[in-house]
Amino acid sequence: MRKILLESLLRRPVTDRPPALDDAELTALAARIDVAARRHLGRSLAIREVDAGSCNGCELEINALQNAVYDLERFGLHFVASPRHADVLLVTGPVTKNMRIALERTYEAVPAPKWVIAAGDCAVSGGLFAGSYACVGPVAAVVPVSLEIPGCPPTPTELLRGLLTLLGS
């Protein structure tokens, strides 16, 4: 026990450093999203996240969109629990055979007009799991995809850039 305590005092933390609060790229991106969200959505876009079989790496980055640094809700973009309240499905992971029906039903439950974003290499192309016996394939093999955001995983900034593209700015 003493050894573990000593090690934890001496070792550097294993977590990454937090992003800088004065990140110029993030500030510029935030300003553009704010303008686009006001123009196209009246400051409201509801996003339903669907994990179709990911390793959860993409979810960690998506969760970061809601922290104090990225603060997605300041643009009126927010996550919802029900697909019936959603405008956008944000789908991660290769679609596993177990999740295929769930993804199809979730897509059907979203009222039109609706958009699907495939987030992460696995969602875009199957990524590491392409060709696996357990997977149907990328998201586009199951539901129509409006936008692809590659990366393994995509960073919160890349996700914001993708949402900006979806907003048509």
CA dihedral 120, 125, 130, 131 (to 10 degrees): 160
CA dihedral 25, 126, 107, 145 (to 10 degrees): 60
Residue 136 tokens read as: 């149907």
Q: Report the nearest approach of ligand SF4 to the CB of residue 158 (Å).
A: 12
Which of the stretches 17-25, 50-58, 64-72, 131-139 binds ligand SF4 when contact is defined by CB under 6 A? 50-58
Please tell me whether residue 96 binds ligand SF4 under the rule CB under 6 A.
no
Please tell me whether residue 52 binds ligand SF4 under the rule CB under 6 A.
no
Q: Are 49 and 92 contacting, i.e. CB atoms less than 8 angstroms apart?
A: yes
Please tell me whether residue 153 binds ligand SF4 under the rule CB under 6 A.
yes
Binding mask 105-134 for ligand SF4 (x = CB under 6 A): ---------------xxx----xx------
Q: Which is nearer to ligand SF4, 34 or 158 (CB)?
A: 158
Question: Which segments within the chain are labelled E, that is strand?
Answer: 45-51, 77-79, 88-92, 95-96, 115-119, 135-137, 147-149
Output the CA torsion sign for 151, 153, 155, 160. Answer: positive
| 135-137 and 95-96 beta bridge pairing | antiparallel
According to CB under 6 A, which residues from 69 to 88 bind ligand SF4?
none
72 Cβ partners below 8 Å, 6+ apart? 65, 66, 78, 79, 160
Please tell me whether residue 148 binds ligand SF4 under the rule CB under 6 A.
no
Which of the stretches 11-19, 32-40, 53-61, 155-163 binds ligand SF4 when contact is defined by CB under 6 A? 53-61
Q: Which is nearer to ligand SF4, 37 or 50 (CB)?
A: 50
Q: Report the nearest approach of ligand SF4 to the CB of residue 156 (Å).
A: 13
Q: Give contact residues for ligand SF4 (rule: CB under 6 A).
A: 54-55, 57-58, 92-93, 120-122, 127-128, 152-153
